[in-house]
Amino acid sequence: MIERHKERLHAVAPEMIENEKTEDLRNMFILLRPLPSGLSLLVAEFEKYVKRKGHEAVGALQGDTIPQQFVERVLAVHEKYAAMKDQVFMQNPEFSGALDKALQAVVNVREDNKKGPPKASERLARYTDLLLRKSVKGLTDPEMEWSLSKAIIIFRYIEDKDVFQKYYQKMLSQRLILSLSVSMDAEEMMITKLKNACGYEFTSETE
């Protein structure tokens, strides 16, 4: 019976996702899940929607705090639609993959009419530099741990990780040479997180 009505369900799926009708989407997911390729359209629409919302979120950055704005807005999109993926689509791996693809496209977007490399690597490096520098209002150890963990979420989506490494190493050197680092414990914490995300070879030169 569900197979006979699959096309009708697929027809209303884009509108449901657009309006984030979570209860209806969950019911549709449960109905379509047993069918061969029953979820394919729903997965594609979810990916397309998250990608669009992500591009909208990072498309109007301005002022002197662009690195922070970029990180905070990407994280907000990630948090919102990761929760939707868990609660509505029951942590289904197809939707997990769609979320990752959408966020990867958002993070690595090429600006300025597609000229030049993506700016995510530099922005994330500058954001972590601000976290790890001495400031008037320092972070507690748990706050630092939480903030660096959030930065790693975005780092995992960056395609040109070697570009991030170059920026990060340069800023790390400046912090250490000029005694601007908030603490060695915080520096080691970030290096450990990078190592866990990419392996020893990525951080061996940094160390």
Note whether residue 1 is domain-resident: no
Kindly state whether residues 102 and 129 are assigned to the same domain.
no
H-only helix segments in 88-157: 93-107, 111-114, 120-132, 141-157
What CATH code is carried by the domain that includes residue 17?
1.20.1310.10
Mutual angle of helices 22-32 and 6-18, in 10-degree steps: 150
Kindly state whether residues 77 and 162 are assigned to the same domain.
no
Q: How would residue 207 be classed by pLDDT, with cut points 50, 70 and 90?
A: low
Reported as a single tens digit per residue, the pLDDT across 46-56 is 999 999 999 99
pTM above 0.85, yes or no: yes
Q: Is the pLDDT of residue 132 over 90?
A: yes
Q: Cα torsion at 199, 203, 204, 207 (round to 10°)?
A: -140
Q: Which domain holds residue 159?
A: 120-204
Kindly state whether residues 103 and 137 are assigned to the same domain.
no
H-only helix segments in the chain: 6-18, 22-32, 40-58, 66-87, 93-107, 111-114, 120-132, 141-157, 161-177, 184-198, 200-204
What rounded mean pLDDT belongs to the chain? Answer: 91
> Which of 84, 107, 130 finishes a domain?
107
Q: How would residue 138 be classed by pLDDT, with cut points 50, 70 and 90?
A: confident
Average pLDDT over residues 17-45: 95
Kindly state whether residues 67 and 89 are assigned to the same domain.
yes
| CB contact at 8 A, 136 and 179 | no
Average pLDDT over residues 193-204: 76
Average pLDDT over residues 167-180: 96
Note whether residue 49 is domain-resident: yes
For 50: left if phi > 0, alpha if psi spans -120 to 50, otherwise beta; the answer is alpha
Q: DSSP state, 159?
A: S
Within 10 angstroms of residue 58's Cβ, the number of other Cβ atoms is: 21
> Which of 107, 132, 167 finishes a domain?
107
Kindly state whether residues 76 and 133 are assigned to the same domain.
no
Tally the domains of the chain: 2
Kindly state whether residues 24 and 90 are assigned to the same domain.
yes
The number of C-alpha atoms within 13 Å of 66 and in the hemisphere containing its C-beta is 13
Note whether residue 113 is domain-resident: no
What angle (nearest 5°) sits at the alpha carbon of residue 86, between those of residues 35 and 54?
Answer: 100
Residues forming a β-bridge with 181: 133
Note whether residue 114 is domain-resident: no
Q: What is the Cα–Cα distance from 69 to 117, expressed in whole angstroms?
A: 19
Kindly state whether residues 130 and 180 are assigned to the same domain.
yes
> Which of 55, 85, 107 finishes a domain?
107
